[in-house]
Chains A and B, each alone.
Chain A
Amino acid sequence: MLTLSAYVYLYKMLNAPAEFASFVIIGGTMVAFWSNVLWNMSAQFYWEKETGSLEVYLVAPISRMAILLGMALGGIVNTTLRAAVILIAGTLIFQVPFMLQEPFTALLMFFLTIIALYALGMLFASLFMLYGREAWHTANLLQEPVYLLSGLYFPVNYLPFIIQILASLIPLTFGLDGIRRVIILGESITDTWLNVAVLVVFILVLLPFAKFALNYMENLGKKEGRLTLRWQ
């Protein structure tokens, strides 16, 4: 909330349009999910390994994706509470303007963004499972650039074109853009169909890719003997 407040006051000082504050509140809400994906969902297998639970999961006759889906669902439920507090408190404190016309489109956009984000988290989880320490550094490295590129605190279209192309590789960018357009600018599903389509493509690519990566990493771990090895 403190970071959000700083951005809101900064935009007010710069006499930026009123929607900028709304952008910040929606961005801050989605930051909660991104942080959860990066630091909880992705690192879940890493922590399970450190506590000795990963071994139990891997010996059990269940799909690895089912474990990750369960973890993702838990993460979504927990983070939704936090995100809701940010959204409600931010809206009430800063009296930001919203022009929501199609709540179902907003919900669709939100769920598609969340599914795409957590699919990315599942992909990261397989990397963390085997490359704990290295993956940790990579997550650290990704945190701030993703904040910038996905437009969490300001619209991406203010960035140079080449950066916008880079940003489009992150599902959060399209999701956030879609959610903002529907909630803040009052756009409809016909105006934001491209965001919906891109998010669906992200989901269709990321989920099977996460499954493939998980299988690949598990087999590699078994081959190299590092699957349940700690402190790596």
Chain B
Amino acid sequence: MSQSIETRDLTRIFKGKSETVKALNKVSLSIGEKEVFGLLGPNGAGKTTFIKILTTLLLPTSGEAHVDGFNVVKEADKVRKIISLVSGGETPGYGILSVRENLWFFSQLYGLSSAVAKEKIKGLMADLDFEEYANTRMAKLSTGYRQRLNLARGLLSDPKILFLDEPTLGLDVLTAKKLRSYIVDWAKKEAKGTVLLTTHYMAEADEMCDRVAIIDQGRILACGSPNTLKENLKENQIMKVETASIQADFGFIDKMVGVIGYSQTRNIQTGTTTLKIMVSDDEIFSKIMSELEKAKLKILAVNKTEPTLEDVYISLVGRGFEEGEAGTHA
């Protein structure tokens, strides 16, 4: 398989007044044609920085990046002809223009003839189920429909490589599902429809991607198909424990020998904390349960679970996304 995207030792350092942040640290990745590739990591992991360099919006500090064989720094003009970028949570366009007018306007940036553009706009609006909003002003659209418009805008130019930065951010479950399945179909249907997707939704990466790379603090920690990455965890035990407390300190778990990692999700509404603990064998888990009982924590449920991409992340970093976000820069 020839490579759509290739990076070698890609590094990006941001120098602030008081601190220096290494957003990308020698990232080397190869993404093949027609591949849906996911870059998975918590906020501040370096995902957007990576995508900005590949879409020519940011210069790398060192290292190289090629998109469809073109160097993103030296041949930026050639790169721009074959790519498109769709960022979640963004609503590029003009509120006073209708959906159709906005799409037509953006089609002109790619030199599409008006007739071709109108045909494409009609097709995309039908495919993404928002034809009835064609004449609605963009300002009046809901978040979900704005994101449909945003995606349609990204696909207008028939990009060879589509970059999606958190494409389902802030969307409801149904809209997110609709967009995910459309993107996967698009990638499979197009002759060279490579997709590079960044997300911090594990299920999204699992559902959409042929391969994923897990990134944390600017470093690629693992790369492979979701199944392969999960298979590697088969030897470990993963338990889900629900406790009736949102204030307890579970830091002791991390210090216990044999614990590979754990994550905690606090639910303020129910007043519970769900722990996901990965251990090398069952005995360690029994010790953890005794410690929890000693701390007089009420255990609501204990389940053994199958590995997910979140567990892959926990096994590599030792913590879940939620805990990482609090202490991560950039």
**A residues neighboring B (CB under 8 Å):** 51-53, 55-62, 219, 222-223, 225, 227-228
Contacts and interface: CB of A to CB of B under 8 A. Distances in A.
B250 interface: no
Interface in B84-109: 84-85, 87, 90-94, 106, 109
Interface of B: 12, 14, 49, 52, 55-59, 77, 80-81, 83-85, 87, 90-94, 106, 109-111, 153
22 contacts: A51-B92, A51-B93, A53-B93, A55-B57, A55-B85, A55-B87, A55-B90, A55-B92, A56-B85, A56-B92, A56-B109, A56-B153, A58-B57, A59-B83, A59-B85, A61-B77, A61-B109, A61-B110, A223-B59, A225-B14, A228-B52, A228-B57
Nearest to A219: B59
B81 A52 contact: no
A45 B90 CA distance: 16
A52 B85 CA distance: 12
Given A59-B57, A61-B77, 20 more contacts: A51-B92, A52-B87, A52-B90, A52-B91, A52-B92, A53-B92, A53-B94, A56-B85, A56-B153, A59-B56, A59-B84, A59-B85, A61-B80, A61-B81, A62-B109, A222-B58, A222-B59, A227-B57, A227-B58, A228-B57
A59 to B, nearest CB: 5
A59 B106 contact: no
Contacts of A62: 109
A61 to B, nearest CB: 4
A56 B94 CA distance: 12
Contacts of A53: 92-94
A17 B109 CA distance: 52
A19 B84 CA distance: 57
Nearest 3 A/B pairs, CB to CB = A52-B90, A60-B109, A61-B80
A62 B94 CA distance: 19
A47 to B, nearest CB: 10
A59 B153 contact: no
A188 to B, nearest CB: 43
Contacts of A60: 80, 106, 109-110
B213 to A, nearest CB: 22
Nearest to A222: B59
A48 to B, nearest CB: 8
Contacts of A57: 109
A225 B84 CA distance: 20
Nearest to A56: B92
B84 A51 contact: no
B58 A225 contact: yes
B99 to A, nearest CB: 15
A60 B56 CA distance: 10
A51 B91 contact: yes
B155 to A, nearest CB: 13
A228 B81 CA distance: 20
A182 B299 CA distance: 90
B265 to A, nearest CB: 30
A231 to B, nearest CB: 15
A225 B49 CA distance: 9
Contacts of A223: 59
A223 B153 CA distance: 27
Contact of B55 (A51, A52, A59): A59
Contacts of B14: 225
A228 B106 CA distance: 18
Nearest to A223: B59
Nearest to B48: A228
**Residue among A57, A61, A227 facing the most chain B CB atoms (10 A cut-off):** A61
A181 to B, nearest CB: 40
